[in-house]
Each structure stands twice: as C-alpha cells, then as structure tokens.
Structure 1
Amino acid sequence: MKKKKDENTEVKILDAAKNIFQSKGMDGARMQEIADRAGINKAMLHYYYRSKQLLFEAVFTNAFSLLAPQLNAILNDDSSIEEKIKKFTSNYITFMMKHPYLPNFIIQELNRNEDFILKMKNNTGFPNLEKFKKQVYEEVKKDIITSISGEQLFINTLSLCVFPFVGRPLIKALINTDEVTFNQIIEARKIEVANFIINSIKK
C-alpha cells in the first residue's frame, strides 16, 4: 500500500507540475503553487524533487520517454521512406494532441539550457537518424524519390508537424477558428502533412 501511495503522489506531482509549467513556463512556475495543485505540502514536494529544475526535467523526460521510442522505431524499421513519413506524421501528431505542451517545453528549455537536450540524447530510445539518412540516400540513388538529403527531409517533416502546436494561438487567430475546429484541422494534418511531403519528393 505504501508503494502505491508513493506512486500516486508522484503522478499527482508530475501532473500538477505539467499544468503549471505549461501555463507559466519554467521561470514563472513556483514550487509552492505546484505543491498546492498536487494537494501536498511543500516539504513533501521537495522530498520527491529537490529543485524546480529537477522537477521540470522529470516532467519533460516522462513525456519525451513515451514519444521518443515510438519515433525511433519508425525511423529504424524496414518500411519505405513513404511509409515512414506516413507513420511518423500520424504518431507524432497523435501524441502531441495528447501532450500539446511538449513542443513549447522543448523550446523553453533549449532557450534556457542548451545542454539539457544533450543529456536526453544519451538516453536509450532517443531517435537515431542514421538508418533513415542512408535509406533516403539509397532511394534517391535508385531514382525512387527526388534528390534530397535525409537531414532536410526529416527537418521538413518534423517542422510541419511541430509548428501548429508551437504557434497554436497565432494560427487560430490567423485562420479565425475556435478550439474545436482547430483540433479537427490538426487531426486532418496526420494525412495532409504526409501527403504534402510525399508529393514533394515523388518522382
């Protein structure tokens, strides 16, 4: 029972921290506010996480560790580049619809602490592009797709998936839409982005 209680407390802390970090950013978040949101006292919060930085990293790592292995598996399976693009786009957008704060988390932390992502890079499951890049090279060589590097193709795909989440308020204002319609547009992008990228590299 004690172990279960501890796990439940940690889940409450991470969930509270996620919401506070999402709305106020790393610098605006306060440990007392996170403790209050989690329904615990500040001493208990510090027992689990000694500093706000460690708590931020835990929230980020918890979410990223769910996504990274999925993307890594797609990039390194034996399917074609076209199939990889379809699966990557669908998985990434599906995940971000459930965790819309994550892209801004990454940008906030990179602006604050460039070394943070280097620690993440050493974790098992961090996406490895080597097979993807070689596969793009081979498909270009075989005249299956137009001339493009693996790096550029990956950046193009990732950018089209990421920006709507990072620029959500701006996009909603520009296209004059409400939250429900915006989410429908994002859902449709699972196919739209994949088709756009695939059509751009098709021979």
Structure 2
Amino acid sequence: GRVHQDDEESESNVDDSAPPAMLPAWQDDDDLGLTVDVMAGASRMRKLRRDRTEHRLAGEEYEARLRAQFEATQPSTSWAALPKKRKSKKQRSRDEDTIRAVDPDDLDSDDSDDSDATLERKVEAQLRHGSSSILCASTSLPAKELSVKRTTDLNAAGISSSSVSTVDWHPNAQLALTSGFDKTVRLFRIDGQRNTLIQSVHL
C-alpha cells in the first residue's frame, strides 16, 4: 500500500504546463528597419498594395503581405503545420454542431448579436470541413462589394485547338480537367499563376 501511495503523490506533482511556444528558425533583425518601395521595379510588387496611395511598406508589413499572397495562391502545406493537441470527443462534437449551425446566407449579415470572433470561428470551422456548402448554398451575392482578382487563364499551359466544352474541378480546387471538340482531355494543377499542365490525353 505505501509504495502505491507514493507513486500517486509523485504523479500528482508532475508539472502539467504546456511546452514553451516555438520560436522562428530564422529572424532577420535588418527587416525591422527596412522600407520597401512597392512602386519601383516589377509591377507584381504593386499587387501588394491595399490602396492606390500606398507607395512604401515597412519590412514586417511587406513580409506579412508576401506571406498572405503566397498562402492564397499555393496549395496548403499541411506537413509544415505544427502539431495541435488532439481534441476530445466533446470538443469535436461541439465543432460539428457549430458547422451545422452556420447558415451561408448569414455570413454576410451585420447581426449585432453575433461578435466578429464568433463569426470568424464559425467560418473557420466550415472551411476546415469543406467549403462546398458555403460556395453552393448562398443564393445572393453581397450587396455592396464584390472582390475580383485576375489570374492566369486556367488552360494557358495547354490551350485547346477548339472551344472548351467541359471544365470540372477536383473538390480541393487544386486540380481542373478540361475537354473540348478536339477530343483531348487536359489535367491542370491550379495555382493561379502558372496553372501547370499535368497530363493531356487524346481520345
């Protein structure tokens, strides 16, 4: 009995605190004093501006905008994400209830009862489990503003010799298939910039 009690006491004295947050592998102190002129040089730097009056960006802001642009155009790198704590069944069930509670038409509403943080959590949960219901279920576009971004043509790397009659998307929106009257099926990897031709099959 005595040994068993000592074991229980030693287990209760174990520190349950979380490990310290991981630091970046590389941090350049020169970036703090850096100012980047986005109007000079290549026109692709101008895309980093949020309005036409911006001409210079601080180093940290420049890095943040480059990172955001990269994440928006490149496939997700799940292998590089830090491991998260495993959710309990109760938490998973709560997340699923939140997902079911999201009405896509409510995402654009200005309901004062719902805080921005709550809405953001709902949208994140919905996007984690597939965005098809958000993309398909909404019946109307936002009334005030529609965001449009010009990207490279889907089939720029393998243009069809006739009109394209069919386009089909993979559920993760990173692959697209085109076909047309030239009897050729083409598979593209979509990144918004190069849209690489993966394979072309003549039927």
- Greater C-alpha radius of gyration: 2
TM-score, normalising length from structure 2? 0.22
Higher helix share: 1
Higher strand share: 2
Higher relative contact order (CA 8 A, sep 6+): 1
